[in-house]
Amino acid sequence: MFSQLSRSCVHVHLRIYHYLAVNKNTCPGDKSALRPGGLRIGAPALTTRTMKEKDFEQVADFIDRGIKLGLEVQKLSGPEQKKFEEVLLGDQFKGKVEALKNEVEEFAVKFPMPGHDDI
């Protein structure tokens, strides 16, 4: 499923719109380092915030839902990042984006960020 979604689109979608810290990483078999097939989750950052295994499962669910939403958007926008962002932020997906964003924020506030009491 992830391989069908433009890597730049999924990165923008997850990182900016849902506040999930992810990086694009190359995987064995990738044809180009410019189009990596991997998604790295900042596991040390999550454990620092006291997340446990069940919390990682929730994060994985958020990522899965974000990618599925991204695939819906990309069907209309194509793989170009600028067009992807326009469609993602347009009226058609606004409710879905806001709902997922709110769920992620509600989940994340349960886990304080060390050294940032104001967050």
Express each pLDDT in 30-47 by its tens digit: 888 877 777 777 788 888
Query: What residue ranges define each of the domains in the chain, with the CATH number in brackets?
Result: 2-108 (3.90.1150.10)
Express each pLDDT in 49-93 by its tens digit: 899 999 999 988 988 888 888 888 888 988 887 888 889 889 999
CB 58 within 8 A of CB 69: no
- The three-point CA angle 50-2-5 to 5° equals 125
Sign of CA dihedral 14, 55, 104, 111: negative
